[in-house]
Amino acid sequence: MHISEGVLSMPVIAAGWALSAGGLAVGLKKTHTDDLSRIALVSSVLFLASLVHVPVGPSSIHLTLLGLAGALLGWSVIPALFIALLLQGLLFQFGGLLSLGVNAAVMSLAALSGRGISQLCRGGARVPGAFLAGFTAVIAGSILVVLCLFLSDYNLASAAAIIFAANIPLAVVEGIVTVFMVLFFAKVFPSLLPGAGKDGVHPPIRK
């Protein structure tokens, strides 16, 4: 879901930075010092997960773990994603710095969509909720990428269609991976999951 430099139009880039700035303000306001260790952990995982690519047509796909990140961090996923994307741009020129605002906005909105799904599916619906969170985040992010490309240049519509189609099987894989990771956390680190009880090490990230 990283859009490279030189692809987007300036109005789309400006809109992306405006959304990212607003999201960062909200995310930082809702972030507490007790949450910093979890944010650092998730940011590191996001940084590493998106470095392994599989070429598909004019682009490539990779695990995003956005649904899981959104479920774990809530609004704090926005600064976590921004930091991960900034480091990728600085260290590997991956995604670029000019398009950083759009990439951060797209991935943050996708992660928050996963958060919303996970909030609706609690208790006995944890497994389907985890799958839907991972699946929905990838589909939402893909739709937003397609929209950004189309608004920048309608000639990119065919490339955008290929990218979206390639992300459908990825969404299924993401859903499955998210289920296994949620089940693992529920068994080993239950305090990481939203709605953790008093037996957790600390309360969950605020909404």
The pLDDT value recorded for residue 198 is 39
pLDDT of residue 26: 94
Q: What is the pLDDT of residue 206?
A: 45
Q: Where are the domains of the chain?
A: 10-192
Residues present in the chain in total: 207
Q: What CA–CA distance (Å, rounded) separates 176 from 39?
A: 23
- Nearest alpha carbon to residue 44 among 13, 21, 20, 72: 72
Rounded to 5 degrees, what are φ and ψ at 20?
A: -65, -40
Around Cβ 75, how many Cβ atoms within 10 Å? 22
DSSP classification of residue 197: -
What pLDDT is stored for residue 22 in this prediction? 95
pLDDT given for residue 12 in this prediction = 93
User: Residue 203: its pLDDT value, please?
Assistant: 42
- With a cut of 70, list the residues of the chain below it in pLDDT: 1, 50-61, 121-124, 193-207
Calculate the alpha carbon distances from 125 to 9, 79, 120, 196 in Å: 42, 29, 9, 15
Instruction: Supply the CATH classification number for the domain 10-192.
Output: 1.10.1760.20
pLDDT at 51: 66
Task: Write down the pLDDT at residue 25.
Answer: 95
